[in-house]
Chain A
Amino acid sequence: MKSLKIFLQNRKRIKQRATPFSLFVVVLLFGLFFEAYMHNFNLVYITLFFVFATAFSAGPIGIRNIKNIEAKFDGCGRLFANILGECRIKVSNKGIYTAWALDILFEDKKIYIGSIKGSSVEFVKVEYIAPKRGYLYIKECKIESLFPLSTVRFQIDIKDCKRVVVYPQPKGIPLSKYLAISKNFIGDESDFDGVGTYSGSESASRIHWASVAKGELAVKKFVKEYQSQKLEFDFIKAANSDEDRLSQLTLWVLECEEAKLDFVIYMPNGILDSQKENIDEILTKFALY
């Protein structure tokens, strides 16, 4: 009774799909049947029954092969739109027998695993390029085996493999270039910060005439010329369209993360502060914007 229950559970868990070879087997069975039946060729009968019996026996053997396999989706790390990313799948064989001819079906990709020995675990990397940012709903996420005869696909769903967040594609002006063009400064034009040496390029309005009067050519300096410790990005000013803005901001966020710089992003619906939220949370907000 217990065995029957397990058998039924396995039947339910393991999906079986016919392949073109199964169609060939059906055609072959018909052909052999007519060849055998019309002329009483016992050798053809034997071949016919072997084809039928092996195709029939392939079912239990195929189920036995895959029934102890469990696969779990292990995430994709940071997956950016239009950039090759890697997802991981943990495949464990909980039985004592080797499971043969395993493949992973991930969206439109088929990744060959081969065999997994009994009582062992494999981590499989799946390279994937997501077409756009946002949630990626994974339609096909299965482990499959064509073992033994390729006539039936035995498939098991991979656990927790429903959706992943795809971040915007990081692209735009690099942070260093951006800072060179438009630095974020602290202070104001009115905050006088003393005088400095005239270099010859400053405008005449900056010349500190009082010093000139004393015979010394000096220029006025203001507090605003000091770069702030926290970078500030403005969503609206980042680029011309939303997608470009998100891509640009994603790039800067990643560069800031690499350079260990704190930043603040002024979004239309709030402020994202790197000291308050981690990078993945910020990127997720970009992804789902």
Chain B
Amino acid sequence: MRYSPNSHSTKELKLLDLAYLTVLPPILLITKLPMLIFMATVVYLIYRDKRLSDKAILGMTLWGLVAIAISMFGSFNFAGLSRLKVFVELIMYLLILAVSLQRLTKEINFYQIISPILLLAISLFFFHTLPMLIYVIFEIFVLLWIILAYRMQSSIEESLKMTGMLFLLSLPWVILLFIFFPRISFEHASYGFKNEEVAKEGYDGKMYANEKAVGLLSDRIVFEVGFNSGKIPPSSKLYFRGSVLYIKKGKEWKPMPIGVLRRYRPARYVTPNRYDYIKDIVSYRVSLYPTKKRWIYLLDLPIEAPTGAVIDSDFSVTLKGGVNEPVIYDAGSALEYKYGRGTLKNVLDVALGADSKMAPRCAKLGAKIAKKYKSASQRVKAILKFFLDQNLMYSLRPKGLDPKNTTDSFLFDVKQGYCVHFADSFALLCRFAKVPSRVVTGYKAKPKNSVKNYLAVKEKDAHAWVEVYIDNSWVRVDPTATAKKMDTLSMNIINQTDTIKDKASKINLYLLYIKYKVEAWILYYSHFRQMQLYENIKNSPRFALVFVSTLIVLFGIFVLFYLYLKKERCTDKALCILAPLLKRLEKEGYKKETFESISSFFNRYSKDGEIDIKSIDRLYHECKYKESKDACYKLKNEIKRIKKSV
């Protein structure tokens, strides 16, 4: 006989606290210090476990309001409130205050129960990253478990099992809805991305051809690229364009001054009049990490910039502000192209600007080449040949470069340097040979950092190359490729970062690939992706088959897990041993009634059943009531024997 149980208030409070503990961590990352102190005070009071007086509650209310006011100070104007982030932040603080005060009363009400879910919804305004995706799923699972643990009042194992079942039942719906729920083409809004604070580095805006060693050797990923065609272009085409530098002052290369007249205005799309031809167009999606600079990187030659970005006269792609948070953009480029016919004379003049004092020996050599060869292409070929003949060495730690004249020192004396020195000296030499040239900075990606259609571009892939103006078009020349050897130190450095722990690197690359895929297909799944998917399903029966099969297999796995969790665990050893026999007898038409004892069932069966189960009956009772291991073992064997014989 049962009576109503006692109140579960303590347990309920603990479960409620657990729900708040689950949803608060992301919130804490964006909560300002005064509110953090307020929350710490609340936690301390909860820990003290004392019921507060009305005056104390009033005091806490005032303290909370002051904490909110200080936290929001500066944003607290009408302009601020119109920004969603500030507004949501204010709502979040007010909710935290209300929840804290309610919790201090030690009473549970409806609003306290629903508030963890509201806090979860609010936290989603601020974070949109892969860790958050994992955490959100974890939060949902834990919150579900808390609800079920409260409802079931059972062991943790039982409630977890039930949570798993509910979760597994929900997953197919979540997947189907996620894929097929109609999306509209609104751009993804961003309010936070607090996890990415460190700016990634590369050559951009400026380049220093000095005597110092290269500082960019890190394996940190600057951006990731996913090619829509499924194939990565060949290595010779993997030049991601950054800034274009025209002017050399001292050791520093700078972009074209702002006032200089250009033929084309910066625009998102490249109009056909800007090129003679373009071929091999590729589309791709780039995930760029914060660089704090305004350049975004597109494969040479960009023809379509993402929303908010423009392609300027030099085909550099820039955003209005700096890249202060991860940016994901879709873009298009032509791998084969010819452009530059309309380059203005004033631009070509700048591209010929070189002071012989900067590199006297270079100037002399340039003049010689200009005199010997009439066409620009011949001159460039001659310069390239000269570079090859110089037997230059690629060195990340060039030694003995003359700080006063690094260009001549690199090309004629030391003959050691890295891409910057190669580009600097090549561009200058071209100018001295009367061939307009400019330095282009960006990244030269390595195919070995790719998996399938995914390509990771790292800080150490930062590169500089040269564009020369030949026959009315700008042609890319990579003088670093003329290096005939590499010094041991550089080789060691590159080997250290490239090939050491090769397997680990490969695994890491695969992990990055998975991360990229998750970001592309989950975090940044959009109307565009959805349409892409529909198109693929419609146009490719093979894709459709793979897609449907994958879903079926996935759902099958969920069902298997569900059935595994649903299965009632055996608590009665003897009855479990007997279960196969009972099943067998049921097939024969002898079903044990729910409340019928085994003895009476066996008696009923014995009257007209074919199998002699007297021994089973005896062994069962010995196994169950005498707890005889031997009897249990014999019972098992006896059942096996009967099953075989039948």
Interface residues, chain A, with chain B CB atoms under 8 Å away: 20-21, 24, 28, 31-32, 35, 37-47, 49-54, 56-58, 60-61, 92, 94, 96-98, 100-101, 111-115, 118-119, 121-125, 146-150
Contact = CB atoms under 8 A, between A and B. Distances in A.
Contact of B140 (A47, A56, A125): A47
B594 A94 contact: yes
A45 B594 contact: no
B128 A96 contact: no
Interface in B528-585: 566, 568
Contacts of A53: 169-171, 173-174, 177
B416 interface: no
Contacts of A92: 595
Given A112-B4, A125-B3, A44 B166 contact: no
B416 to A, nearest CB: 50
A118 B144 CA distance: 24
A41 B595 contact: no
B189 A40 contact: yes
A216 to B, nearest CB: 69
A92 B594 CA distance: 10
Contacts of B170: 50, 53-54, 56-57
Interface in B1-22: 1-5
A125 B166 contact: no
A97 B162 CA distance: 12
Given A39-B189, A47-B140, A52 B173 contact: yes
A147 B144 contact: no
A115 B154 contact: yes
Nearest 10 A/B pairs, CB to CB: A53-B173, A53-B170, A39-B189, A57-B169, A49-B177, A49-B174, A40-B188, A101-B151, A100-B152, A54-B170
A54 B127 contact: no
Interface stretch (B32-40, B114-122, B243-251, B611-619): B114-122
Contact of B568 (A32, A40, A97, A147): A97
A49 B523 CA distance: 14
Given A32-B121, A60-B169, A146-B151, 8 more contacts: A38-B189, A45-B178, A57-B166, A57-B170, A98-B154, A147-B151, A147-B152, A148-B162
A148 B162 CA distance: 9
A125 B3 CA distance: 6
Interface in B95-143: 110, 114, 117, 120-121, 124-125, 127-128, 132-133, 136-137, 140
Nearest to B183: A40
B526 to A, nearest CB: 6
Contact of B1 (A20, A24, A124): A124
B374 to A, nearest CB: 58
Interface residues of B, number: 55
A74 B287 CA distance: 69
Contacts of B79: none
Contacts of A94: 594
A52 to B, nearest CB: 7
Contacts of B181: 45, 49
B427 interface: no
A38 B524 CA distance: 14
A124 B2 CA distance: 5
A184 to B, nearest CB: 42
B522 interface: yes
Interface in B395-431: none
Interface of B: 1-5, 110, 114, 117, 120-121, 124-125, 127-128, 132-133, 136-137, 140, 144, 147-148, 151-154, 158, 162, 165-167, 169-171, 173-174, 177-178, 181, 183-184, 186-189, 522-527, 566, 568, 594-595
A28 B121 contact: yes
26 contacts: A21-B114, A38-B186, A40-B183, A40-B184, A41-B188, A45-B178, A46-B136, A49-B178, A54-B167, A54-B170, A56-B170, A56-B173, A58-B166, A60-B169, A100-B162, A113-B2, A114-B2, A114-B5, A114-B153, A121-B595, A122-B1, A122-B2, A123-B1, A125-B3, A147-B151, A147-B152
A283 to B, nearest CB: 25
A129 to B, nearest CB: 16
A69 B526 CA distance: 47
A115 B153 contact: yes
Nearest to A56: B173
Given A39-B189, A148-B148, A118 B166 contact: no
A149 B165 CA distance: 13
Contacts of B153: 101, 114-115
Given A46-B178, A54-B166, A147-B151, A119 B594 contact: yes
B598 to A, nearest CB: 12
Contacts of A54: 140, 144, 166-167, 170
Nearest to B84: A39
A53 B177 CA distance: 9
Contact of A100 (B3, B151, B171, B526): B151
Q: Which of B1, B110, B124, B127 has the most CB of A within 10 A?
A: B124
